[in-house]
Amino acid sequence: MANGKILRQLIKAGTVGDSAAFRRVSEAIIDNERQKQHHLLANDLEQILYGEHLKLAPNNLNRLTPGAPVDKERGLPLLDIKQPQRSLEEIILPELSNMAVEELVEEHRRSDVLQSFGMKASSKVMFYGPPGCGKTLAAEVIAFELDQPLAIVRLDALVSSFLGETAANLRKVFDFIAEHPMVVLFDEFDAIGKERGDSGEHGELRRVVNAVLQMMDAYQGRSLILAATNHEQILDSAIWRRFDETIEFPLPGTEELTQLLSLKLRGIRRQFELDDNDLLVTFANISGSDIERIVRRAIKRMILRSQEFLTIKDLKTAHARESQRKPQ
């Protein structure tokens, strides 16, 4: 069942005759059903939406947002712009972090109320914590809840080998997001915000950090800027002062782990309770993305072996296989 927000959007689009919005929300519902493994329903909905023109369905996002600026050296787009699909219901965080994300969404939903009191919503927010703990997912969730495109800054295109070109690329990005409202994620932000006092870095990087600081200070656009880092300890100390808010994304605790397993095992028949101590020990100190991969691996194994129920042993085996996948 689609969540309340999506249903409200769907009915509103149909009522006002906004066919582009109707198609966009319908696509979000279809994607949501696929994530729940409801593939037959998703296929039926897709057939109803597109009919015989399924393969020729237009890309609504291209009509909604202009083309991203490109790197002069290689012609690569500096941002990947996509339509977000996942809602607040799909992110599991500790209470304080979850509250911070919800408050950020509320600030932007009711920015007009804040403005009437001479205040404004936070426009620059830093996400920090270990890899795989939900920073990128949170950016998508926020974009979805605000009905805005999600733009992910491509650092591989942004950082140029030409002297001064990286700062020029940064200027292109900031000019673009100032003009076009969206949620913008600078992932791996430490790549352009590293401590200027690092003796191992050359002058070009220090100039890039200075450019970032200047552009952050001057930014007055309507886009929400999110920056994410797995290495907050190496960020330049001056960077932190440029952000209105910081939100931590730690490894899941026991409560978050139980909620995450409940979400990922939804609809799966199992022979254990989610608060089983053996299960919790198995998944202790593991990131959310790793947990998701382990669960997916175990479910595939269960299906291929025609098992009726998933067991803790299946999850432990999948955990061991996942551990082998990573270099020690």
More confident residue, 287 or 54: 287
Distance (Å, whole) CA 277 – CA 292? 19
Closest CA to 121 of 209, 211, 181: 181
Distance (Å, whole) CA 226 – CA 210? 18
Q: Which residue has the tokens 């409801």?
A: 38
Distance (Å, whole) CA 150 – CA 68? 12
User: In this structure, are residues 301 and 317 in contact, taking their beta carbons and an 8 Å threshold?
Assistant: yes
- Give the single-character DSSP code of 255: H
Q: Please, what's the largest Cα pairwise distance for the chain?
A: 62
Tokens of 100: 């911070």
pLDDT at 238 (0 to 100): 86
> What is the average pLDDT value for the chain, to the nearest integer?
84
More confident residue, 58 or 155: 155
Does the pLDDT at position 294 exceed 90? yes
pLDDT at 59 (0 to 100): 45
Burial of 94 (0-12, 13-18, 19+ CB in 10 A): middle
- Encode pLDDT of 133-187 as tens digits: 999 999 999 999 999 999 999 877 787 756 578 888 899 999 999 999 999 999 9
pLDDT at 155 (0 to 100): 78
pLDDT at 66 (0 to 100): 64
pLDDT at 9 (0 to 100): 77
DSSP string for residues in 20-39:
HHHHHHHHHHHHHHHHTT-H
pLDDT at 12 (0 to 100): 73
Looking at residues 81-105, what average pLDDT do you find? 93
Distance (Å, whole) CA 193 – CA 210? 9
Looking at residues 4-28, what average pLDDT do you find? 75
- pLDDT band, very low/low/confident/very high, at 223 (cuts 50, 70, 90): very high
Does the pLDDT at position 295 exceed 70? yes
pLDDT at 291 (0 to 100): 95
What is the separation of C-alpha 25 from the centre of its chain, rounded to a whole number of angstroms? 18
- Give the single-character DSSP code of 70: B
- pLDDT band, very low/low/confident/very high, at 56 (cuts 50, 70, 90): very low
Looking at residues 283-309, what average pLDDT do you find? 94
pLDDT at 37 (0 to 100): 63
User: In this structure, are residues 89 and 169 in contact, taking their beta carbons and an 8 Å threshold?
Assistant: no
- CA 239 vs CA 208, 211, 212, 214, 227: distances in Å: 12, 11, 8, 10, 11
- pLDDT band, very low/low/confident/very high, at 63 (cuts 50, 70, 90): very low
pLDDT at 117 (0 to 100): 94
Of 38-52, 53-67, 172-186, give the lowest mean pLDDT range: 53-67
Of 106-110, 141-145, 200-204, 246-250, give the lowest mean pLDDT range: 200-204
Q: Quick check: do 65-248 and 254-325 share a fold?
A: no
Closest CA to 9 of 85, 47, 24, 1: 24
Of 40-49, 111-120, 266-275, 294-303, give the lowest mean pLDDT range: 40-49
Looking at residues 51-61, what average pLDDT do you find? 45
Looking at residues 24-40, what average pLDDT do you find? 75
User: In this structure, are residues 20 and 60 in contact, taking their beta carbons and an 8 Å threshold?
Assistant: yes
Does the pLDDT at position 273 exceed 90? yes
Does the pLDDT at position 60 exceed 50? no
- Topology, domain 65-248: Rossmann fold (3.40.50)
Give me the helices (H) in the chain, please.
Answer: 4-16, 19-35, 39-50, 60-64, 95-109, 111-116, 135-145, 155-158, 165-179, 203-218, 237-240, 254-264, 277-282, 288-304, 312-325
Does the pLDDT at position 198 exceed 80? no
**Angle, to 10 degrees, between the axis of helix 165-179 and the axis of helix 203-218?**
20
What is the architecture of the domain spanning 254-325? Orthogonal Bundle (1.10)
Task: Name 185's bridge partners.
Answer: 152, 226
Does the pLDDT at position 109 exceed 90? yes
Does the pLDDT at position 39 exceed 50? yes
Domain boundaries, the chain: 4-60, 65-248, 254-325
pLDDT at 24 (0 to 100): 79
